[in-house]
Amino acid sequence: NDIEKGTYSHFMLKEIDEQPFVMRKIINEYQTENNELKMDTGVRQAMNSCDRIYIIAAGTSYHAGLVGKEFIEKLANIPVEVHIASEFSYNTPLLSEKPLFIFISQSGETADSRAVLVKIKEMGHPALTITNVPGSTLSREADYTLNLYAGPEIAVASTKAYTAQIAVLAILAVDTAKTKGLSLDFDPMRELAIVANAMEVLTDQKEAIEDLARKYLRTARNAFFIGRSIDYHVCLEAALKLKEISYIQAEGFAGGELKHGTIALIEEGTPVIALATQKNVNYSIRGNVQEVVARGANDMVISMKGLEQDTDAFVIPHVHELLTPLVSVVPLQLLSYYAALHRDCDVDKPRNLAKSVTVE
Ligand code: G6P
């Protein structure tokens, strides 16, 4: 492998740190000299002629797809379904008249995603692959490809590919909205530049996050991540990250679902990490935090500037409310990293996991 860790002890930490640069690279690659959005005309046509989008992915890429759905529905006004690749074959939904399939895959080699691609191509439907590996199978076999420009990702736990996927999905959604003539009060490149700076602020705060990992997770048996709205999607990703590399049993939940079961698991000292980056649900998620604290939970609130409260464990810089996943995920990636490190786990090569799953 000719990719070097340099001064880093692990690829994962290096890749977390690369995220601001990846954001800037994406801004450059998806912009013309006249500062207009640069988008493949085939992709533009496909986005404009479909009546529904089916996002197919696995693992972390699936979690990016959940965020992408919000962008495409809210900005471009196209209905979106997000499906786990391995389930799609059995639970194939009723398709719309003019479906467009979007495959999100860091490696472009995930067998379950490829199986769906083969199937829908047989049915004659168009496919777009969003991948970090341009010549990959999913890229070659789809009609269109959008590149992530994240550079090789070596650590098994995906970090910079996730944020790159979300950024590219945001650009795709805005580009579609513009081609459709929808009026938007959202300049994606400007907002992504703000995100890049915010990411840099966060990667400079490693010590604070390492302290939190030590305090909350070093000896924890389990951990819960709660959030509402777009924060909920990030909670799923945060829980996956923690499971993958620290082997702590972790789950992400929608705040409102707590009382329907999960709250039964809260004991004295159970770590509950809550995300609070969305103004419209700030009050409700704070209510959920009080509910778990009343049952003994060790709460850690990660909020966004402007919505913070005195007792919050960590505050992320302010970014556009649609793009908060790009920023809120960074301390959560670092939290997993340091939790794994302090539990003596093999951060870059966790047990039982492969970087790319090429068997069904
Ligand atoms: C494996 C990796 C994950 C990744 C998933 C999907 O499980 O360990 O990090 O999210 O595959 O991979 P893809 O390359 O399709 O995004």
| Catalytic, out of 5, 119, 121, 355 | 355
Closest residue by CA, ligand 1 atom 2: 355
ipTM (interface pTM): 0.97
Q: Whose CA is nearest to atom 4 of ligand 1?
A: 59
The mean per-residue pLDDT over the stretch 5-11 comes to: 92
pLDDT at 71: 98
Please compute the mean of the pLDDT values over residues 191-207 and round it to a whole number.
98
Residue 343 main-chain phi, psi, to 5 deg: -105, 15
* Predicted pLDDT of residue 120: 97
Ligand 1 atom at minimal distance to the Cα of residue 113? 15
Q: 242 C-alpha vs ligand 1 centroid, how far in Å? A: 15
> In the structure, what pLDDT confidence band is assigned to residue 89 with cuts at 50, 70 and 90?
confident
In angstroms, the CA 87 to CA 116 distance is 10
Note the Cα 120 to chain centre separation in Å. 25
Ligand 1 centre distance from Cα of residue 59 (Å): 5
Q: What is the pLDDT of residue 1?
A: 53
Model confidence over 94-105: pLDDT tens digits?
999 999 999 999
pLDDT, residue 90, reads 84
Percent of the chain surpassing pLDDT 90 = 91
pLDDT of residue 324: 98
Sheet containing 144-147, strands listed edge to edge, beginning at the edge strand earlier in sequence: 80-84, 52-57, 99-105, 127-131, 144-147
Task: Report the atom number in ligand 1 closest to the C-alpha of 354.
Answer: 8
For residue 181, the model assigns a pLDDT of 95
Q: Report the separation in Å between the CA atom of 19 and the middle of ligand 1, taken as the mean of its atom positions.
A: 18
Burial, 268: exposed, middle or buried (Cβ in 10 Å; 0-12, 13-18, 19+)? exposed
29-56 pLDDT per residue, tens: 999 999 999 999 999 999 999 999 999 9
Position 2 pLDDT exceeds 70: no
Longest C-alpha distance within the chain, in Å? 58
Q: What is the model's pLDDT at position 52?
A: 98
The pLDDT mean for the chain works out to 96
Q: Do 160 and 151 form a contact (C-beta atoms < 8 A)?
A: yes
Q: What pTM did the predictor assign?
A: 0.97
Among 2-11, 274-283, 348-357, the range of highest mean pLDDT = 274-283
Residue 356 CA to ligand 1 center (angstroms) comes to: 5
Task: Give the model confidence (pLDDT) of 294-337 as tens digits.
Answer: 999 999 999 999 999 999 999 999 999 999 999 999 999 999 99
Give the nearest ligand 1 atom to 57 CA.
15
Q: Which residues of 197-212 are buried (b: 16+ CB within 10 A; e: fewer)?
A: bbbbebbeebeebbeb
Report the pLDDT averaged over residues 129-158. 97
Q: What is the mean pLDDT of residues 240-248?
A: 96
Pocket of ligand 1 (CB under 6 A): 58-61, 105-107, 110, 113, 156, 158, 353, 355-357
Query: Is 355 assigned a catalytic role?
Result: yes
